[in-house]
Chains A and B, each alone.
Chain A
């Protein structure tokens, strides 16, 4: 029964001129955005490869110099391109692509791609995520708004019910019909994107994580199911097709266009962030805390003297200069962890507000989940930043340790290639899909709740409101 209804719905839709135009539009836009995303990704991956090799080269080919000079010279770490960014570029345009790993400083990532683009980009870039989150729900609304209300106006609903069609079957049948029509339209783009993802170089972030692809697909399918069920629910109780359309369009506009900005303001109001000037001031105040530094150094000196059982620093078998450099680093690291930790913590709390707000606007849940599983959200950016910073600290430890071992008093100690080789190349392991699930538990739960609620509403409205 349900299948019969679904088949008729599909037939009806496929003959509707408006559906044809709309589906052509969605098809073209999704394929074009996929192509553009693929090109961007391959370009970026190539540039990343070149840059990463170049910086490693520059590191290894440093002339003989004091290890601390090498520490100041430092190394660059570049954020790798994520394959799944073909689907959702997320925050990538708004975060830096390169960070300089040098001594004494935890630098911020520089060169946000967005700064090299025009103001038009603030309208949004037509990438896969925007098509799926903004255009497709609109498409569903336009297909489904008259499913019940229109039939009621035409009088065919009465006839259907009089031949004994069960309201539940009708609802599910229509939902299936809409879903199949949607599937037919999205299938080419989906197939192409799967092909593109598998073909793209394995240097991409997520080549080894098919779970991400599967999850993102499931998330979007759930989202479309929610939208379909809600559209059918509204169509069932609305007194006219026009009212159903107005309600659904308003809901679409509010959820997809207005809600994100309003929630963004709410998040910033609940968890405000300092200005760069204030942040820098606070950071420097802690870094330049001479007293702390001196205490720390004194303690270390005393420990060492005790450990080696000597009376003065000059008698130590290791060069204290190396040790003091490392203490300086440790002190700095604590300060950086405190300040950056607080700042990033605030960002993450702000982002959780977005997740909770999905209770009101389901689009927000999908936005977060889509970015999360594409690897282009803040959580994963922070993961990279932390990994790069950890690599920086390893470099400092290696170099300072070397100074401690080899520096002789009164001489300038120079090291060469053997030391540079001891620092491994920077390799970054992105987090797994499981990790992302942990980050987005709230959004997943909320989306699931929306699905349950929407289906229940739809079924109830089908059985009560239809019979009138």
Chain B
């Protein structure tokens, strides 16, 4: 579903991303681990065509994102680190708006409430202004948008930062359900625990290069941490 082929991004002398090659198949939950500035966010921005690659290709469902910017976005859903919604609109209105932009303008109120329930949001929150939502709730709206959109690939940037353990857990459940229904997930995160919990594969990034790729079955929790820190040692 998601494919990076020798994807490179350079800013003047700085190489933010160095020849990244990875594949995320439907159902995969690929966790990109790495320090700040390792290139995780850059990778996501490249898939979203928010920045242009210096060389290499990013493909979504076989389509090159630079050549088919609008078509590829139909398959993608993006949950940024801070999910910012329109404060004056209710959760439901936000969902309706983004779903409409995504190509699903005729969803009924029931259908929308359905998505709300699916991501674990209380129905009475649906008609409250988003300005009153917690971070976790906003993130759930983001996922609801992904669901409403029928996205085949999900890009997540530090999804669990700032979430309390309960919200984090709920998030893990959601991820599991999504990957179960065949969505390809690419998640950039620091959260090693969550990566082991929810991820199927991990990739470790250091200074723009993907230095290691493993499946999570290979490790226990502590092992993952050890491997990670070893790679991080300079």
Direct contact of A and B (CB under 8 A): no
